[in-house]
């Protein structure tokens, strides 16, 4: 695992965007795994900037997202499909048919999961972008006795509902379940970049960076078993956890 410390979060975001841009520009048919959350918004803005400067085209790119809330429509402002369209897809030259986000209001959850797994099994990711939850969750793989390898349905942890409530009118409106990629599929991506900022991520980033344990209590620690993972943090977070 490589650790890259940047001056601030904007600089981390730009570095990640440039890595993604290089992968996209140098592959014939790149497949890119995407994430949602406040942390990655600036990465998408930087990708849009590169596109506007004509340094990047998404014409041949396919994307697969990590997860989606269950029970809200793709048009809901807090759905991850809406997030992706408004932060990235609507602003670039990607073919929207080449973007995959599970459909959260599909009442046939078995079918939704089968479609999700089909995409993962048939599109090897060149790159996976990741954020991290304050409890160490990756996508929606929440700390638990077991983690899962493949796409599955999960009950969102109470602490995650609280953390994500800031995006909703109230805590009660946060969906209680989600579709998520499993850890096995995430680890299949050729290269992974995890971006983190903020004091509330300090504990989990500390055990990810310093500890040797791989534990289902902190799902992000599974990234230690991946051959090409880079963690991007800013100076503020590095200082809090004592990383030099």
Q: Which residues contact ligand GLP (rule: CB under 6 A)?
A: 35-39, 66-67, 131-133, 139-140, 160, 164
Of 13 and 29, which CB lies nearer to ligand GLP in the complex structure?
Answer: 13
137 is catalytic: yes
Q: How far is the CB of 206 from ligand GLP (least distance, A)?
A: 16
Which sign does the torsion angle of CA 174, 178, 31, 135 carry? positive
How many H helices and E strands in the chain? Answer: 8, 10
135 is catalytic: yes
148 is catalytic: no
Q: How far is the CB of 129 from ligand GLP (least distance, A)?
A: 9
H helices within the chain, ranges in order?
9-26, 41-52, 80-87, 109-122, 158-164, 183-186, 202-209, 235-241
Say which of 46, 68, 126, 142 is annotated catalytic. 142
Say which of 9, 42, 137, 234 is annotated catalytic. 137
Q: How far is the CB of 67 from ligand GLP (least distance, A)?
A: 5
d(CA 18, CA 56): 10
Q: How far is the CB of 69 from ligand GLP (least distance, A)?
A: 9
Of 130 and 238, which CB lies nearer to ligand GLP in the complex structure?
Answer: 130
Query: 168's torsion region: left (phi>0), alpha (psi -120 to 50) or beta?
Result: beta
Per-residue tokens: 128: 């996976």
114 Cβ neighbours under 8 A, 6+ residues apart: none
d(CA 29, CA 25): 9
Say which of 42, 87, 135, 164 is annotated catalytic. 135
Of 19 and 35, which CB lies nearer to ligand GLP in the complex structure?
Answer: 35
Of 26 and 170, which CB lies nearer to ligand GLP in the complex structure?
Answer: 170
- The catalytic residues are 67, 135, 137, 142
């Amino acid at each position: 695992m490589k650790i890259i410390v940047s001056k601030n979060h904007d600089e981390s975001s730009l570095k990640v965007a440039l890595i993604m841009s290089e992968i996209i520009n140098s592959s014939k048919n790149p497949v890119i795994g995407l994430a949602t959350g406040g942390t990655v918004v600036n990465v998408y803005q930087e990708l849009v900037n590169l596109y506007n400067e004509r340094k990047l085209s998404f014409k041949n790119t396919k994307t697969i997202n990590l997860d989606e809330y269950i029970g809200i429509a793709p048009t809901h402002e807090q759905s991850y499909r809406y997030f992706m369209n408004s932060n990235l897809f609507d602003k670039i030259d990607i073919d929207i048919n080449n973007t995959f986000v599970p459909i959260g209001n599909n009442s046939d959850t078995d079918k939704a999961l089968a479609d999700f797994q089909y995409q993962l099994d048939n599109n090897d990711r060149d790159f996976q972008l990741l954020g991290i939850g304050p409890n160490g969750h990756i996508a929606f793989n929440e700390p638990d006795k077991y983690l899962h390898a493949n796409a599955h349905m999960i009950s969102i942890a109470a602490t995650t509902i609280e953390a994500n409530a800031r995006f909703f009118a109230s805590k009660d409106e946060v969906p209680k379940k989600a579709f998520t990629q499993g850890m096995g599929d995430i680890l299949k991506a050729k290269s992974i970049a995890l971006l983190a900022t903020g004091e509330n991520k300090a504990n989990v980033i500390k055990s990810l960076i310093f500890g040797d344990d791989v534990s289902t209590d902190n799902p992000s620690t599974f990234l230690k078993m991946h051959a090409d993972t880079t963690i991007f943090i800013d100076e503020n977070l590095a200082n809090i956890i004592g990383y030099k």
